[in-house]
Structure 1
């Protein structure tokens, strides 16, 4: 029996992208796992173009022939009276053989060099390019490796390493894989290390298994001569090889001049500390939750103003603010009543709204504030959030991140995630996102003021920031779906990783809120069923027209009465949930808004670049 499934149907909308479409829409470079190009370089180093001539081959073949004949000539002289004649004929024959062998090798090398010079003629509508130029273009585009597109080989369809260029990276990336599937080792670590090679690139990353990420990428960033800032406030070590300060301090209430932030920026910072937890809202009174969150933001902001205008820089830090709330509502009331100083009337009016609330509401609001500052309960963390004096060089400002190419890693040990570490990481991530917007406005303003300044124009256009938010559902960031849409306009690309698509639903309530703002989705092998079902549905369907040769009349001879009959024809998923789930661990499914889905092979396990 013969099976046929060749015909398509007008209703078929789903299909996989072909070789030419993928190479046309993504960055790529020639992938050669055997590093054969190194062998060619070695041969070229020994044998330059002048040697690859007939005369050179003639000389080389004579030398080899003489060496071989000299080695075995003594034995021939001993056993034969016609030794000289045999040696001459052997020499001549060996020389001819060696000559043609070397000529073949020379032509082979020439054909490879020909490929280098003329480029690989890829299928589809890809133009020809020089191999080295392809690699240079790949790196110039600040590409992020996706995987290997297997070709049929030769000049027309070589295997390609497919990557996202910077523009597609600004559309953001989502990586989905279960625990141990390789999200960090296959994508996050190689991505950060490759970013170290690119100019005008800064990276912000979180590590919930500190210091694993830092230990894996520091070598490449130091080798590139770039700055590394590792902020793990739970760490007790003071310094490490390479001059990296592991006890750097961070006061988010101060600007780059180590002066208090403006009132407007303090209000924005207060909003970042408190978030509307969708899970709590689904299980309780939505309006009450919103009410108390807003009240907590307002009270925290008023307290920041009080500290700013009463104490100035000296006690203007989160640790002092937390101590203020820990003393209770009665203490807060007495402090505000007795306050005399700059803007005291404004501050008293603001606090009056709080003091007029019922006692139980005031107590709940203060408790909410302390719960969101619970990461400061750890003595080491509290120490790292203090900057003792204005000139303290160990006090890092978020604005330092934009002055030069910098890798900033926020590290939290796993065991601290449920005791305030998640709040700390979410808070710092929100601060950096807000700083990215501010930095972008500054750069654009600088460009407007210096229209004829090539350097300022270059900075506005080429400076890129890439954020790696590993285990993204651990973060709580307000309106992150909106942030994704806005970050693209600031030359910022975000790479998120989750264990399953259902984690997004649990955190944000609706999966498309996040996925609709992401340009490239990477689904690794053995993903969860919810993930496989989701991507199977959005990948579309294809019409399969299946025929079999069926014998209709058994009374006729065996060779007669066979007819093709449609069997099980209809619309089927482009890739079923089971096919996605059972996909090889070395394969990745790529869903992108730029073209149809496709499947790539993973690169070998990462080693330092």
Structure 2
């Protein structure tokens, strides 16, 4: 027995000596992948936040409210592997969801199941007004809501132009819309809607003189009779030189061009979409815009997002208020004014934003120098296969490099350093069809296998339910334009 024990100790000593020698000769530090314990700490079994792998890896609610960017080219599985599994996963929870659905596929696959689990199903669908809610972004706003009115006016112009023009030109067009919107809010709040604002812009003429009397009559602030800000703003706009004035009016008209479409007028003239409902009742709101008409309806998407975020951030949620999960597909086409501040603050209001981009460079293109602040406000990234080079390169740089430190023998003073990229851009670009890279805050990266909903028995069964049958919208779409 002693001989056996001695032999065992000798073996362990030699193995230990070899390991110590190996460690002394070769050391590694720097970037690495998360180990199994670290992965378990991220995806705890009790977590109820975003479902990352389509199967069982969920973030905590806290991490989910710090937002997620899904980087995925068309056809890479972001709908089947991320969006639909998350919607079905949330069906068993008390929350609300806002879902951008470019093709109607998500509604077709999830609305029936959500309805069966007690969700109120709503759609905003400019192509089918018979089944769509009506949405007036100014609904309920009066002289007490100047900031919200200004936010909507800014959103309309910046959705079209964003960073494309110098600020002075956009600001002039925005000021013009603000004057008209505030006049209506002060004196005719029931007529405060985009069709009427568009009508006033169309009547502006060469220098606005035909609207002078109307502006003066409607500029009286019922909450402050000494307020001359509207008249002063109007004078400031109309006293500009002819070229600037023409540019302001042209920008405003172009931003509102879709308001000359009768269908859009009907959609935006009245309102039965109560966004406050999202906090009180389990609700799934689908924004259905055909992919081939995304550009045409982009202003509508951006105005809805602007108003939605303003409503959700109106006050801190109470204990009984529902959390809201937003799955915002094709977000790279959107421009939300001051989004760099919003994304860093809305987390406090129990709102989770999952923004879907085709390339991380879309943020740079849309937001310019503010893109870095937006990226900093996104807590986690999920990069699917086929990423473009700029995305793959940026993610590879974020992940970092592994440093190898080598010596030829234990007595060698000289060390040799070798840097290795943990994940090269090419490795990220050539991920398998159901693989993804997951990055989260200050944690080490993970390679994750994605399970599409049709490979998950529970979700596949849920999707087999027939879509929810929306009731006919009985709204009287009579568009009553104001009298001048």
> Normalized against structure 2, the TM-score is what?
0.80
Distance 2:25 2:31 in 1: 11
Shift in Å, 1:582: 2.0
Deviation digits for residues 293-342 of structure 1 (CA, Å, limit 9, x no counterpart): 222222211111222344441x3221011011112335842333255367
How do residues 72-111 of structure 1 correspond to structure 2 at under 5 angstroms?
none
Q: Contact 1:253 / 1:260 at 8 angstroms: preserved in 2?
A: no
Question: Does residue 523 of structure 1 match 2:386?
Answer: no
Q: Contact 1:252 / 1:398 at 8 angstroms: preserved in 2?
A: no
Question: Does residue 601 of structure 1 match 2:449?
Answer: yes
How do residues 35-434 of structure 1 correspond to structure 2 at under 5 angstroms?
137-138=46-47, 142-147=48-53, 161-199=56-94, 201-207=95-101, 209-236=102-129, 238=130, 246-255=131-140, 262-275=145-158, 277=161, 280-281=164-165, 289-313=166-190, 315-329=191-205, 332-337=208-213, 339-340=216-217, 343=220, 346=228, 347-387=230-270, 395-419=272-296, 421-434=297-310
Q: Contact 1:220 / 1:608 at 8 angstroms: preserved in 2?
A: no
Q: Contact 1:202 / 1:464 at 8 angstroms: preserved in 2?
A: yes
Q: Contact 1:172 / 1:493 at 8 angstroms: preserved in 2?
A: yes
Q: Contact 1:470 / 1:497 at 8 angstroms: preserved in 2?
A: yes
How do residues 510-549 of structure 1 correspond to structure 2 at under 5 angstroms?
512-544=372-404
| CA distance 1:10–1:514, shift in 2 (3 Å) | farther
Shift in Å, 1:547: 10
Q: Contact 1:7 / 1:544 at 8 angstroms: preserved in 2?
A: no
| CA distance 1:267–1:508, shift in 2 (3 Å) | closer
| CA distance 1:433–1:5, shift in 2 (3 Å) | farther
Deviation digits for residues 446-500 of structure 1 (CA, Å, limit 9, x no counterpart): xxxxxxxxxxx5226xx31111111211101122122110111111111011112
Shift in Å, 1:415: 2.5
Structure 1 window deviating more from structure 2 (371-380 vs 424-433): it is 371-380
Distance 2:62 2:25 in 1: 35
Shift in Å, 1:600: 1.4
**Aligned partner of residue 24 in structure 1, secondary structure:** helix
Shift in Å, 1:407: 1.4
**Aligned partner of residue 584 in structure 1, secondary structure:** coil
Deviation digits for residues 269-297 of structure 1 (CA, Å, limit 9, x no counterpart): 2233232856525xxxxxxx211222222
Distance 1:309 1:505 in 2: 39
Deviation digits for residues 132-151 of structure 1 (CA, Å, limit 9, x no counterpart): xxxxx34xxx3322228xxx
**Aligned partner of residue 571 in structure 1, secondary structure:** strand
Distance 1:432 1:8 in 2: 59
| CA distance 1:214–1:431, shift in 2 (3 Å) | same
Deviation digits for residues 33-70 of structure 1 (CA, Å, limit 9, x no counterpart): xxxxxxxxxxxxxxxxxxxxxxxxxxxxxxxxxxxxxx
Distance 1:7 1:372 in 2: 67
**RCO higher in 1 or 2 (8 Å CA, sep ≥ 6)?**
2
Distance 1:543 1:401 in 2: 49
1:27 is aligned to 44
Q: Please, what is the CA RMSD of the aligned residues?
A: 3.1
Aligned length: 425
How do residues 496-515 of structure 1 correspond to structure 2 at under 5 angstroms?
496-509=355-368, 512-515=372-375
| CA distance 1:311–1:480, shift in 2 (3 Å) | closer
Deviation digits for residues 49-104 of structure 1 (CA, Å, limit 9, x no counterpart): xxxxxxxxxxxxxxxxxxxxxxxxxxxxxxxxxxxxxxxxxxxxxxxxxxxxxxxx
Q: Contact 1:181 / 1:524 at 8 angstroms: preserved in 2?
A: yes
Distance 2:394 2:152 in 1: 36
**Aligned partner of residue 250 in structure 1, secondary structure:** coil
Distance 2:428 2:104 in 1: 33
How do residues 444-593 of structure 1 correspond to structure 2 at under 5 angstroms?
458-459=319-320, 463-509=322-368, 512-544=372-404, 570-593=418-441
Distance 1:5 1:291 in 2: 65
> Normalized against structure 1, the TM-score is what?
0.64
2:473 is aligned to none
Structure ID, larger Rg? 1
| CA distance 1:147–1:547, shift in 2 (3 Å) | farther
Distance 1:23 1:364 in 2: 57
The equivalent position to 1:435 in structure 2, one of 292, 295, 311, is 311
